Structure formats: structure tokens, C-alpha cells
Amino acid sequence: MTGPSNPIENPTPHPALKPPSKPRGLTRDQMAWRVAKDIPGGSYVNLGIGMPELVALHLPQGKEGDNRQIVFHSENGILGMGPPPPQGEEDFDLISAGKKPATVIPGSAFFDSADSFAMIRGGHIDIAVLGAFQVSESGDLANWTTGGVPAVGGAMDLAQGARQVFVITNHTTKKGEPKIVKECTYPLTGAGVVTTVFTDLAVIDIHKDGPVVREIANGLSFDDLQALTGATLTLDADCKALSAPAF
């Protein structure tokens, strides 16, 4: 017969002794919404593959109360790319650079890759939204390989050619390792190219003196954020709470 459990072996911690729970950060959709909020009207924007593609779902495209005009560029040769098509209405002769079905808006244009990359390299793309494995305190970007098979695609051209580079990424890896670091340990996509990093926990602008926290998640102290970051952060004097609507 099994006796009662020993309360000494299975203690119930006093509530005051429990470690503080980590505040829940933004979801992927909320992060994309927050990026979209910082894209001004009249911008020509290229969205990288993966999480950056979600940003298109949170930009105007006729949404009531938002009259910004945003033009999407896709490096396979589209200017004026529209939202993803409804399921069942896909045209697989019309795809994005990520090889996903796409649509186009009235007035859009098609061209070859040479012209497309001339637009990128010529500095005609206002904002590139890219994912990242690492971002350094000086704005270096590593997002194309962690040491496996190289597949850089157009990321290097976008990182160097776009007027601004927005990075959207979780603040840490699944193992809890920081993605914003003093120096990148992965091969670089571009040196000193990142303008702003949007994570699930903060919005961080990269200044010449290092990363500056512009917004921080509710319930997360600056010291807690710093503990999750591999680079030295500075708190903006006008730092606000990071928030987003529920999706």
C-alpha cells in the first residue's frame, strides 16, 4: 500500500516565492501589424519570405480609415503585388518570389529579374522587411544561413539596396538564445544595414551608438529585456508600451 505523499518531498511554494512569469510577447500576426504601422504612405516595399509576408495582410489595401498607398515589389518581377488570392482562385502562373500564388493591383507592372534587381540595387525600394537569425548592435544582419546549405537568394541585394531595412523576428531562439547580439556569429547578409528590429518583446532602433529601445512589452522591465539580449541596450527617453490588437 502506498502511503500519503510526504509534504516535505513535494512542497507547494509560497506564492511570494514563485519566480515571476515571463510576459507573453506579441504573436506573429501582431508583430506583422506593428511593422505595418511604421510603413509610411507612398512607400515601395519588398517583403522577405516567411514572417515578413504577413505584413501585407496588415497594410491598407482598401481598409477603411487607412488611406496610405503602399506598392509591393517582388524580386521575381512584379511591382504592384496584391494580397494572396482566396483559396480555390489561385493562378499558378502568377506567383511571388516565395513561389506562392499572388495577385496584382490595377496599374501593376511585370518585368524580368534584371530590371527587378536594378530597382533594388539602384536604391528605388524604400523598405525591405526581412527575417533574421541574428542582428548585431551595429546593425549587421545575418539571415541566410546558420552554416548549412547556402541559399541567399536576393537577401543580400535587398539588405544593401533598400533605403531602410526592417527586421521582424522573435527576440530569442527556441532555446532562449538572444538574436540581437554584440557581433553576429553567422555569415553576414549585410553589414550595418538594419534600421529597426521588431520583435515579440520590443521595437528597437539601431542608432550609430547602438540599439535603442523605442517600445517594450507590457509587464517586461528594461532589465528583463536586457537579460534576453546579447547587445547593450539603451532605453529611449520617450519609450512606450508595445501593444497590438488581438487577431
Q: Where are the alpha helices (DSSP H) in 52-146?
A: 113-121
Alpha-carbon distance of 28 to 38, in angstroms, equals 16
- Our measurement of the distance from residue 50's CA atom to the centroid of its chain's CA atoms, rounded to an integer in Å, reads 9
158: exposed, middle or buried (C-beta count within 10 Å: 0-12, 13-18, 19+)?
Answer: buried
- Our measurement of the distance from residue 223's CA atom to the centroid of its chain's CA atoms, rounded to an integer in Å, reads 23
Alpha-carbon distance of 205 to 166, in angstroms, equals 9
Known catalytic membership, residue 89: no
Within 10 angstroms of residue 211's Cβ, the number of other Cβ atoms is 24
3-state secondary structure of 75: coil
Catalytic-role residue among 75, 89, 137, 177? 75
Measured over all CA atoms, what is the biggest interatomic distance in the chain, rounded to whole angstroms? 80
Q: Residue 35's closest CA among 20, 49, 23, 53?
A: 53
The residues carrying an active-site annotation are 75
